[in-house]
Chains A and B, each alone.
Chain A
Amino acid sequence: MSSHDVMPEMSLYQPVRVEDAIGIANQFADRGWLVGGGQDTYGWLKDRAKSADALIDLKGIESMRGITETADGIEIGALVTLTEIANNPLIKERYALLSQAAVKVASPQIRNVGTIAGNVSQDVRCWYYRRGLNCYRAGGNLCYADTPEGMNREHAIFNASRCVAVTPSDTGPALVALEAQMVIDSASGQRVVSAEDFFVGPNVDITHTTVLAPGDILTAVRIPAKWANAQFFFEKVADRNAWDFALVSLSAAMRVNNGVIEESRIVAGAVQATPRRLTSVEQAVRGKARDEATANSVGNLASRDANPLNYNHFKMPLMDNLVKRALRGQA
């Protein structure tokens, strides 16, 4: 084994139009690698844990930039950086959940270059997998993390299917809560997928985290006006307050009228391979006040079906506590 850190030799394409990018992506199929800010990509390639024949750098595509107001909400170009999202007045004013999530990602340096598309499309952070081991997620026959002695503190407590990795994205759960729509362009045209359906678990596709197939390009993220100016809650608990992935995060959007939660979408991050909607909690709090009593009434509903591993039982109370905080309305 050698400890690599130099970029391997590969071709670099820098298309300026989505169509061209799609063409190149199709040409290379699974040997092509789209790159936005490269914050996930470069690690894989430099470590030689994954490889590609061609890097397709999307940053030159103007049409994939910018945050615009639309008839029904806003559209965020796929190349918009996490810093831009964190600072955008429109998002901060109406969809603060997303800006609050974005500002908690990684570190300022990573946020300055990391894109929203890259953030939602990033691969899992399971350390075994990132090491380049040929586990299930890498197309192999076994999982190193989910074993009697596996070091799986950061891994999943729900919906594992052979792979027990969790979604590392902080913005993903927020987008699911906001009922965002993911705009995907490919050679066969454009399709729009809800954020909830965008993420896929290992039971369905163990080697991918999203519905994106080779040749698909996420060009924009649309946030419908439905949740504009709703009451939001975002909290990410990580070991460290910067430069660290969530142990558990919670994104909640709540439509509160006269103190009563009319509708809510509560989504946890880092507890399973995809953002996890806590529908049982959503149902339980419908029509109830957003207060301490409601917070206490849900108890451990959120973590009830959890299936913890050796080292991650803490995620259950942590998740329950975050749900309580979201419902209580303050820390």
Chain B
Amino acid sequence: MTYMHIGKDFTPPDVEGKVTGAARYAEDFKKDGMVFARMLTSPIPAGRVVNIDASAALAMPGVVGIFTADDLPPSAPPANPALAKEYVTYIGQPILAVAAESDLIAEEALAKIVVEYQRRPFVVDPLDTLTEGGPDPYPMGNTLIRNSGEAAAGTTASGTDVGRIKWSIDQVTAFRNGREPTGAEFGSEWEYGDVAARFAECTTVIEEPFVTIGQPHHSLESRTSMAYWENGKCYFHGSLQSHTVGHDVLAGMLEIDPANLVFINENTGGGFGSKIFPYPNMAITGRFARQLNRPVQLRITRAEEFFIGSARSGMQGWIKIGLKDTGRVGAVDVIIVNDAGSGGGGSGGSSAEHISIMFQPEAMRFRGVSMYTNTTPRGAQRGPGQNEMAAVLAPMMDKAANMAGIDRVAFRRINAPRADGKIGERQGGLSSSYMPESIDKAAQMFNWEEKIAKPRQISATKVRGIGVGQGFHTAGSNGYDGLIRIAPDGTIYLHTGVGNLGTYSYAGITRAAAEALQCNWDNCVIVHGNEALNLPHSTYQGGSNTMFTETRSSHVAALDIIEKMKEIAMAEFGGTIDDYSIGGERVFLTSDSSKGMSYGEAAQKAIEMGGKYSGMEYPDNIHRTTQRSVQAMQGTGLIGVAKDTLPREGAVPGMAIAFVEIELDTETGKFDITDYSAVAECGTVVHPQGLSQAMNGGGVWGFGMAAYERHVYDPQNGLPANVGLYQSKPPTYLDVPVTMNTAGMDLPDPQSPVGAKGIGEPAQGCAVAALMSAFTDALDGHLFNRTPVTADMIVNHIAQNGHNTGNLKTNTF
């Protein structure tokens, strides 16, 4: 299909500000009379606050107030409180905030506050707390229990409680040694097909342990926020990766009428899953500002961003994979113990889902348990579950394929999901899948046949590794609102409540509206980032879903406004709605294009006609947020507003496949990526530059996950070793290839009006998997069974000194 805008590059409006530095983030906003709030964080990994003596701090000139857990509604574990009191569960957990006239005074005041703690036992490795007799991270247990919807008193996380699951020493020992922990208890289990029967039919069966360590999100923009109150309204500058979907949640956290909240967030410097919804410390900013009756900026330092900014859950696992002689994956049995940190949850289920869709096993069983530890809270991070599973699974699948004597790419093609593919426990369907085609396209880009035939030994000290990996994430949702206003001057305002998390998707999705409106892009203005500008209720931005979900709501809003323009024209020129067409930013009688009017004229008429045309009336199925925005724009132009009720069925899979060639130095454990080729199965490509950005960025992060990034805790005292960004080791410009070849499959998903699906997470998943696969290939099929694989591990392996971190430890080097 030929499009006017879809599939074409354009310059999103925030690019210039990002390049020049003019772009403003929450911390850049100041307000007269603003005070700086800073947090005091826990030095102990587990315990409770016995007493706080802030008298010396409060007596300091310039100190204006203190805010503690007592100033917040009570919350009980496992809810992650903004400020801890009874349950301090990790080092760095915020205890209180102090506000002062300057940042320096606030910082000095913190040093004067004496907090008395009572310590409790702590644990940093999930298997240690899982072992009978092992310490528990909370006094009442070590795992999240769902209480069929009933919330523990005061919890914000409804229906959850902290419970206890223990395994016997024998079970843990078996698990640590890569064997199935027979008879062990799990928090969640599912199975489809007859796993035992399918295994019996398999001719190749492998059993492997695996471990992945977490990674902190370390968003470059820390979660600083600023709030002030004016005329009963709270103006809140924050840093979320979604925007309006967080509105009601934030209002709830501040216990105010949503109508009295204006949330402003033009740019977000990274969230990666940690800022999808409002997070606990935002409650401090708004409430403290109200308490002090002054604007408050709660400034979050880099170290605090590590502590409260979330991290990927590590996993320790065991898997059994069976291949039939046809090369089909007959059965998979997988056990995952997740590290949920001091709060949040593991993503074992999503990990299992990755296996189920990418390799379509005929039968599969998943058993998982998510253990709390006294480490930073965990949460979604780019492909939570799926990507870490992609990482460890790729080399294991390679091993199975090699044992079965099947080419690794052919093996993936045999098992790849097609349009009739199934996913997960319930074996639900997919909205579309062009994965086999994507595998072929990427293999061709990479020259797989030629590369795989190359000798592995390059020189005495260099070996080649060829890897292939796949990434997946569900990439679509529905049911959000679209909002467009055309002003009498003809300017088309494309309103979106999508957050600007740096991916340009907020802009990309509006192209679907422009496409429907057949309008000149120069006449379009994207309205976003500030609720005072009247934004619709838009999707949460996690799980690659923005492109699919919001091209739909943009599209329905455009259809609504087109219909209204036609009705307006009809009122002028008669006929039925079907007699009208649009084009050249005019609406006109199809039979006589001179009978028509420009979009601007239609807008003028809309104002005159009032009613639904100028927003005086609106559909009642739209969200309250959208309703308020429409109300605020009443009478200012032609309003197109609609909720996405387009049909939708099955999971929307965003998928990607990558190939990596590396040259590995056997003397240093270092490697160069000499080729990276990846194809995104993301439906229709909406914004080619945006796609290549996503694929490159995801690729880089995938390399980081495979070989560099880490989450290290000292088990002796619960101290984190990678609080600093440089200590967490994201890859640098010298660790990644200069050019990365990426492309989109560019075949449409039938459930998106423009055919688009998202590709955020899989871009990373395919890269980490491919690089892990390349390591194994370079090292004669050696499985590290772990990510990341760092240079020291490679050196140890080659030296055969038996000193690689083994034993399924997470939060370690």
In the complex they form, whether A and B have CB atoms below 8 Å apart is answered with yes
- Across the interface, do B735 and A240 meet the contact criterion of CB distance under 8 Å? yes
* Contact A331-B665, Cβ < 8 Å, known A242-B732, A311-B805: yes
**How many residues on the B side are at the interface (Cβ–Cβ under 8 A)?**
56
- Across the interface, do B667 and A313 meet the contact criterion of CB distance under 8 Å? no
Interface size class of A (residues with CB under 8 A): 35 or more
User: Which among A56-64, A142-150, A184-192, A220-228 touches the partner chain?
Assistant: A142-150
Residues from 225 to 268 in A contacting B, C-beta threshold 8 Å:
235, 237, 239-244, 247
Beyond known contacts A6-B107, A237-B668: 13 more, CB 8 A cutoff: A2-B40, A5-B302, A147-B716, A239-B708, A239-B791, A240-B731, A240-B735, A241-B732, A243-B726, A313-B796, A314-B791, A318-B668, A325-B667
- Across the interface, do A322 and B714 meet the contact criterion of CB distance under 8 Å? no
Q: Report the separation of the CA atoms of residues A8 and B105 in the bound assembly, to the nearest whole angstrom.
A: 10
Measured CB to CB, the closest approach of chain A to B302, in angstroms, equals 6
- Across the interface, do B792 and A331 meet the contact criterion of CB distance under 8 Å? no
- Across the interface, do B717 and A317 meet the contact criterion of CB distance under 8 Å? no
When distances are taken between beta carbons in the complex, the residues of chain A under 8 Å from B805 are 311
Render A150-185 as a binary contact track against B, CB cut-off 8 A, 1 for contact.
110100000000000000000000000000000000
Decide if A17 is an interface residue (CB 8 Å cutoff): no
- Across the interface, do A3 and B307 meet the contact criterion of CB distance under 8 Å? yes
Measured CB to CB, the closest approach of chain A to B512, in angstroms, equals 40
- Across the interface, do B735 and A314 meet the contact criterion of CB distance under 8 Å? no
A318 contact from B301, B716, B717, B795, Cβ within 8 A = B795
Measured CB to CB, the closest approach of chain A to B263, in angstroms, equals 26
When distances are taken between beta carbons in the complex, the residues of chain A under 8 Å from B667 are 318, 321-322, 324-325, 331
Could you name 28 residue pairs across A and B whose Cβ atoms are closer than 8 Å? Answer: A1-B43, A1-B91, A2-B40, A2-B41, A2-B110, A3-B301, A4-B107, A4-B301, A9-B104, A9-B108, A131-B723, A144-B714, A144-B719, A151-B713, A153-B813, A239-B708, A239-B729, A239-B791, A240-B731, A244-B726, A247-B791, A312-B792, A313-B801, A314-B669, A314-B801, A315-B792, A317-B798, A324-B667
- Across the interface, do A314 and B796 meet the contact criterion of CB distance under 8 Å? yes
Q: Report the separation of the CA atoms of residues A48 and B41 in the bound assembly, to the nearest whole angstrom.
A: 14
Decide if A13 is an interface residue (CB 8 Å cutoff): no
Decide if A28 is an interface residue (CB 8 Å cutoff): no
- B44 — nearest CB in chain A belongs to which residue? A1
Measured CB to CB, the closest approach of chain A to B234, in angstroms, equals 26
- B790 — nearest CB in chain A belongs to which residue? A239
Decide if A136 is an interface residue (CB 8 Å cutoff): no
Chain A interface helix/strand/loop/mixed: loop
- Across the interface, do B733 and A314 meet the contact criterion of CB distance under 8 Å? no
When distances are taken between beta carbons in the complex, the residues of chain A under 8 Å from B798 are 317
- B804 — nearest CB in chain A belongs to which residue? A314
* Contact A241-B668, Cβ < 8 Å, known A5-B302, A6-B103: no
Q: Report the separation of the CA atoms of residues A92 and B104 in the bound assembly, to the nearest whole angstrom.
A: 44
- Across the interface, do B42 and A1 meet the contact criterion of CB distance under 8 Å? yes
When distances are taken between beta carbons in the complex, the residues of chain B under 8 Å from A242 are 732-735
Q: For A144, A239, A243, A321, which residue has the most chain B Cβ atoms within 10 angstroms?
A: A239
Decide if A127 is an interface residue (CB 8 Å cutoff): yes
- Across the interface, do B731 and A144 meet the contact criterion of CB distance under 8 Å? no
* Contact A247-B792, Cβ < 8 Å, known A107-B732, A240-B729, A314-B803: yes
- Across the interface, do A241 and B734 meet the contact criterion of CB distance under 8 Å? yes
When distances are taken between beta carbons in the complex, the residues of chain B under 8 Å from A127 are 721, 727
Residues from 763 to 806 in B contacting A, C-beta threshold 8 Å:
790-793, 795-796, 798-799, 801, 803, 805
Q: Report the separation of the CA atoms of residues A239 and B40 in the bound assembly, to the nearest whole angstrom.
A: 33
Q: Report the separation of the CA atoms of residues A308 and B803 in the bound assembly, to the nearest whole angstrom.
A: 11
When distances are taken between beta carbons in the complex, the residues of chain B under 8 Å from A42 are none
When distances are taken between beta carbons in the complex, the residues of chain B under 8 Å from A128 are 714, 719
A314 contact from B41, B712, B714, B799, Cβ within 8 A = B799
When distances are taken between beta carbons in the complex, the residues of chain A under 8 Å from B203 are none
- Across the interface, do A2 and B716 meet the contact criterion of CB distance under 8 Å? no
Q: Report the separation of the CA atoms of residues A241 and B734 in the bound assembly, to the nearest whole angstrom.
A: 6
Decide if B503 is an interface residue (CB 8 Å cutoff): no
When distances are taken between beta carbons in the complex, the residues of chain A under 8 Å from B307 are 3
* Contact A241-B801, Cβ < 8 Å, known A3-B304, A322-B667: no
- Across the interface, do B732 and A150 meet the contact criterion of CB distance under 8 Å? no
- Across the interface, do B92 and A3 meet the contact criterion of CB distance under 8 Å? yes
Decide if B153 is an interface residue (CB 8 Å cutoff): no
Residues from 185 to 233 in A contacting B, C-beta threshold 8 Å:
none
A149 contact from B41, B91, B716, B791, Cβ within 8 A = B716
When distances are taken between beta carbons in the complex, the residues of chain B under 8 Å from A322 are 667-668
Residues from 107 to 160 in A contacting B, C-beta threshold 8 Å:
107, 127-128, 131, 144, 147, 149-151, 153
- A311 — nearest CB in chain B belongs to which residue? B813
Decide if B259 is an interface residue (CB 8 Å cutoff): no
When distances are taken between beta carbons in the complex, the residues of chain A under 8 Å from B301 are 3-5
Decide if B812 is an interface residue (CB 8 Å cutoff): yes
- Across the interface, do A244 and B729 meet the contact criterion of CB distance under 8 Å? yes
- Across the interface, do A331 and B796 meet the contact criterion of CB distance under 8 Å? no
Render A1-45 as a binary contact track against B, CB cut-off 8 A, 1 for contact.
111111111000000000000000000000000000000000000
Decide if B715 is an interface residue (CB 8 Å cutoff): yes
Q: Report the separation of the CA atoms of residues A316 and B732 in the bound assembly, to the nearest whole angstrom.
A: 26
- A152 — nearest CB in chain B belongs to which residue? B813
- Across the interface, do B303 and A240 meet the contact criterion of CB distance under 8 Å? no
Measured CB to CB, the closest approach of chain A to B323, in angstroms, equals 35
Measured CB to CB, the closest approach of chain A to B59, in angstroms, equals 18
Q: For B91, B791, B793, which residue has the most chain A Cβ atoms within 10 angstroms?
A: B791
- Across the interface, do A313 and B803 meet the contact criterion of CB distance under 8 Å? yes
Q: Report the separation of the CA atoms of residues A9 and B103 in the bound assembly, to the nearest whole angstrom.
A: 12
Q: Report the separation of the CA atoms of residues A235 and B668 in the bound assembly, to the nearest whole angstrom.
A: 10
Measured CB to CB, the closest approach of chain A to B223, in angstroms, equals 13
Q: Report the separation of the CA atoms of residues A318 and B793 in the bound assembly, to the nearest whole angstrom.
A: 11
Decide if B111 is an interface residue (CB 8 Å cutoff): yes
- B92 — nearest CB in chain A belongs to which residue? A3
Measured CB to CB, the closest approach of chain B to A108, in angstroms, equals 10
When distances are taken between beta carbons in the complex, the residues of chain B under 8 Å from A247 are 791-792
Q: Report the separation of the CA atoms of residues A240 and B703 in the bound assembly, to the nearest whole angstrom.
A: 11
- Across the interface, do B726 and A1 meet the contact criterion of CB distance under 8 Å? no
- B794 — nearest CB in chain A belongs to which residue? A314
Q: Report the separation of the CA atoms of residues A312 and B792 in the bound assembly, to the nearest whole angstrom.
A: 8
Q: Report the separation of the CA atoms of residues A242 and B303 in the bound assembly, to the nearest whole angstrom.
A: 21
Measured CB to CB, the closest approach of chain B to A322, in angstroms, equals 7
Closest 6 CB pairs of A and B: A241-B734, A3-B303, A1-B43, A321-B667, A317-B799, A314-B792
Measured CB to CB, the closest approach of chain A to B320, in angstroms, equals 30
Residues from 660 to 703 in B contacting A, C-beta threshold 8 Å:
665, 667-670
- Across the interface, do A1 and B792 meet the contact criterion of CB distance under 8 Å? no
- B43 — nearest CB in chain A belongs to which residue? A1
* Contact A237-B669, Cβ < 8 Å, known A3-B301, A6-B103, A311-B805: yes
Q: Report the separation of the CA atoms of residues A240 and B717 in the bound assembly, to the nearest whole angstrom.
A: 28
* Contact A2-B107, Cβ < 8 Å, known A144-B717, A244-B726: yes
- Across the interface, do B39 and A2 meet the contact criterion of CB distance under 8 Å? yes
When distances are taken between beta carbons in the complex, the residues of chain A under 8 Å from B107 are 2, 4-6, 8
- Across the interface, do B721 and A151 meet the contact criterion of CB distance under 8 Å? yes
- B104 — nearest CB in chain A belongs to which residue? A6
Q: Report the separation of the CA atoms of residues A3 and B303 in the bound assembly, to the nearest whole angstrom.
A: 6
Residues from 47 to 80 in A contacting B, C-beta threshold 8 Å:
48
Q: Report the separation of the CA atoms of residues A4 and B307 in the bound assembly, to the nearest whole angstrom.
A: 13
Q: Report the separation of the CA atoms of residues A230 and B706 in the bound assembly, to the nearest whole angstrom.
A: 40
Measured CB to CB, the closest approach of chain A to B290, in angstroms, equals 24
- Across the interface, do B735 and A144 meet the contact criterion of CB distance under 8 Å? no
Render A299-331 as a binary contact track against B, CB cut-off 8 A, 1 for contact.
000000000100111111110011011000001
- B719 — nearest CB in chain A belongs to which residue? A131
B303 contact from A5, A144, A244, A321, Cβ within 8 A = A5
When distances are taken between beta carbons in the complex, the residues of chain A under 8 Å from B670 are 237, 241
Decide if B38 is an interface residue (CB 8 Å cutoff): yes
Decide if B461 is an interface residue (CB 8 Å cutoff): yes
- A312 — nearest CB in chain B belongs to which residue? B792
- B714 — nearest CB in chain A belongs to which residue? A151
When distances are taken between beta carbons in the complex, the residues of chain B under 8 Å from A235 are 668
Q: Report the separation of the CA atoms of residues A2 and B302 in the bound assembly, to the nearest whole angstrom.
A: 12
Q: Report the separation of the CA atoms of residues A324 and B41 in the bound assembly, to the nearest whole angstrom.
A: 48
- Across the interface, do B729 and A318 meet the contact criterion of CB distance under 8 Å? no
